[in-house]
Structure 1
Amino acid sequence: MNEQVILIPAGPDLSASLQTTVFRPNGPGPFPLLIINHGKDAGNPHLQQRERFIFMATAFVKRGYAVMVPMRQGFASSTGTYADHGCDMTANGRAQAADVLDAVAFAQSQDWIDADRIVIAGQSYGGLAAIALGTQAVPGVRGLINVAGGLRDDANDCNWRTELVRAFASYGDANKIPSLWLYGANDSLFSPALVARMYAAFVGNGGHARLHEFGAFKRDAHGMLASRDGEKIWWTETARFLRQVDMPTEQVYAVGPPPAPPKTDFAKVDDIAAVPYLSERGREAYREYLAKLTPRAFAVSPSGAWCWAEEGEDPDTRALATCAKKSKQPCQLYSVDDYVVWRGNSGAEAAGGALGGNGPTANP
């Protein structure tokens, strides 16, 4: 994946810097490009972690793309100021799109990027930004992928649903770039009824888009793109769209995650009494863990510490890392997904041992 983090100049005078994760195949290129745009967590955007969208990035690098994931101004370690236009969703989307346009301009100046073959995707607020960008005819940008796009704002009695519909109507009126929209039935932010209103407003005002509603996904379809299992949902429709805009879809590289820890015969995964070191509270936590979604991992320490992580990227690494923050003794993985990886007290290295941790659960 050749992952690296670079800084991209942004803003009216290019004085801001966007912390940007880059993935690319081996070789000099030029490669077609996917730019993925992130959403917004609650609270201070500077406290938001750098996004990688590793599952979507991997799928595209396999197919010969370079991938950029820019953190927009005011997010994570990017400089500049987060642009907040309150309940004016039209202005919010356009403000975020300005940073994406700066990322496009930077990418097109690089000799390892094919400046004429670019697709822009976005999740949640990033999806709104992508569709806002589509009001401009950007040379080289062939298509937009809107995954659960929108922005929720419950502050100051904001009628954000109506404002979102108004924003998409405005973007449809000026639309220059075709788009694919992906929304799930159990999205916690944007209900099917709201999605229908947004889509109707967009295409009713002249926007070029195709909506794919994929039904329920796990506990919340809004996080589908961050799930290891999400590719089964989004890739088929995405490949169809990519072919329509004359972008590559065939796999040309072998790219995959590190191998998972091997299964052992120590115990059945649901044998709670077999898990070593745990207090009664720890066994209650393991019982809770067994109801969590895969991918998941559970780590334990001789100190009695424990930690689990579910969904998202590398839950085994996250479980061990969180465990390691509070335990002075080594933590080991006990279970991954639906099987046990524990090899006993002497199997720390084989079972994925790391410096130890403590008991609170680790959610994504």
Structure 2
Amino acid sequence: MRGVEESDRSAPLRVKAIALAILLIMSIATTTSAISGDLVQERQYLRAKIGGQDVRLEALFVKRADARGRLPIAFFNHGRPAYREMTLDQSLTANDPGINLLADMARRGWLVVAIHRRGYGLSDGPTQADSPCAVDASMSWMNADADDIQASIEVVAKRPDADPTRMIVMGGSAGGAASLALGARNPPGLAAVINIAGGEHWTGCMALRESIPVDFRTLGSRSHIPNLWLFAKNDLNHPLDQIEVMRAAFAGAGADLKLVLFEPIGEDGHTGMYSIVGRTQWLVELDSFLRAHNLPTWPISNVDVVLQRLQWPQSQRAFVQAYLAAPGEKALARTAGKQNASYQTALTLDDARKLALDACQRKGEPCTIVMEDDRWTGSP
């Protein structure tokens, strides 16, 4: 699957985005390998202590290949079910929710850490049973998941490439709920919580429906960390009235919260948030949020650098900014006359190059690749 954008000075900017997949496969031993040329991944076990017990948690680290020194840490938390497999592998075509986001965040300057919580993947411990329909069930479940994240932070903080004074925690669905619970603990160094379609799921349980305002007031009253919540309006797990109940209770208790609601994404906005269409929309909001809180993302000054190299006017600024913010593997091709260009996203960088060239050459001129991901590859 692929997405395309084209720029033509004689025509309005056109944008098309179609779903992309980047996936994970499992490894038992600790290994480090290159992915996509500009990123490296490392698979290992974290030896953590949770509730007085020694626990082994499966973990995946992703960062830029050219990264040096201590990096800010982005902890990403899976939903339920978890990632089927724990490594980025672009040769596979199926999609595990959330995994394709790891590369997007690593390219923004983060050391990205994804764990399998207890009972998932090759991590120790039993998987938590589905929450019973009881008033305190969901908070208990969220806090248990937050215990795993907090224990992971304590281990990762000791890495020579990790800066525990600059951290964010983010997650989707149940992972987003776990991130909220961790944020309410205000661990040192945690600068932001990113909740992607996460919260309590009240369908079919009146006790839980009644407990949500109480739970989210409790979380909001304890949280002193900026929160960004991202939901689609057609989230089948969290209808709009439930999102509003969670928001009102959390923010009403004094929490620092920005909620962004997107127009419907696909048939179910809950899973649609991970598609190329979803990520294309909310990564822009995430970048703005990170900049507002002086947290790393790609520099907006890069737009002017690319415009200068393309020898394009400021009228093409939106096209260049959209390319730099776009998720996934991407390539930008330009005609020899420098008037037209197209970019494509794809499962692999090789496919992105081919698709970008094909789209560009529909203009009737030969084209060359001038950018791959965020790297300039054209002539100086």
Query: TM-score with structure 1 length normalisation?
Result: 0.65
Aligned to 2:291: 243
Matching residue's letter, 1:23 = V
Deviation, structure 1 residue 111 = 1.1
* 1-structure distance, mates of 2:146, 2:58: 16
Q: Which stretch shifts more, 13-22 or 89-98?
A: 13-22
Q: Is the 2:236–2:269 contact (alpha carbons within 8 Å) kept by the matching residues of 1?
A: yes
Aligned to 2:211: 163
* 2-structure distance, mates of 1:97, 1:238: 22
5+ residue gaps, structure 1: 260-294, 297-312, 318-335, 340-364
Deviation, structure 1 residue 154 = 6.0
5+ residue gaps, structure 2: 1-38, 87-95, 303-323, 332-344, 359-380
Aligned to 1:74: 119
Size of the aligned set, in residue pairs, is 266
Deviation, structure 1 residue 21 = 1.5
Aligned to 1:329: none
Aligned to 2:80: 40
Deviation, structure 1 residue 131 = 0.7
* 1-structure distance, mates of 2:97, 2:107: 16
User: 1:247 and 1:14, CA in 2 relative to 1: closer, same or farther beyond 3 A?
Assistant: farther
Q: Matched residue of 2:40: which SS?
A: coil
More strand as a share of residues: 2
- 1:83-162 alignment, distance < 5 Å: 83-84=128-129, 85-86=131-132, 87=134, 88-152=137-201, 157=205, 159-162=207-210
Matching residue's letter, 1:223 = T
Deviation, structure 1 residue 256 = 5.8
Q: Matched residue of 1:15: which SS?
A: strand
Q: Is the 2:73–2:162 contact (alpha carbons within 8 Å) kept by the matching residues of 1?
A: yes
User: 1:53 and 1:3, CA in 2 relative to 1: closer, same or farther beyond 3 A?
Assistant: farther
Q: Which stretch shifts more, 245-254 or 123-132?
A: 245-254
Deviation, structure 1 residue 39 = 0.7
User: 1:164 and 1:67, CA in 2 relative to 1: closer, same or farther beyond 3 A?
Assistant: same
Q: Matched residue of 1:187: which SS?
A: coil
Do structure 1's residue 17 and structure 2's residue 56 form an aligned pair?
yes
Deviation, structure 1 residue 59 = 1.8
Aligned to 1:57: 102
User: 1:256 and 1:241, CA in 2 relative to 1: closer, same or farther beyond 3 A?
Assistant: closer
* 2-structure distance, mates of 1:18, 1:225: 26
Q: Which stretch shifts more, 144-153 or 248-257?
A: 248-257
* 2-structure distance, mates of 1:106, 1:245: 26
Across the aligned residues of Structure 1 and Structure 2, the Cα RMSD in angstroms comes to 3.3
* 1-structure distance, mates of 2:53, 2:110: 26
* 2-structure distance, mates of 1:135, 1:40: 21
Aligned to 2:378: none
Do structure 1's residue 8 and structure 2's residue 80 form an aligned pair?
no
* 2-structure distance, mates of 1:168, 1:185: 20
Kindly indicate whether structure 1 or structure 2 has the higher relative contact order, using CA contacts under 8 Å at least 6 residues apart: 2
Query: TM-score with structure 2 length normalisation?
Result: 0.62
Deviation, structure 1 residue 246 = 1.6
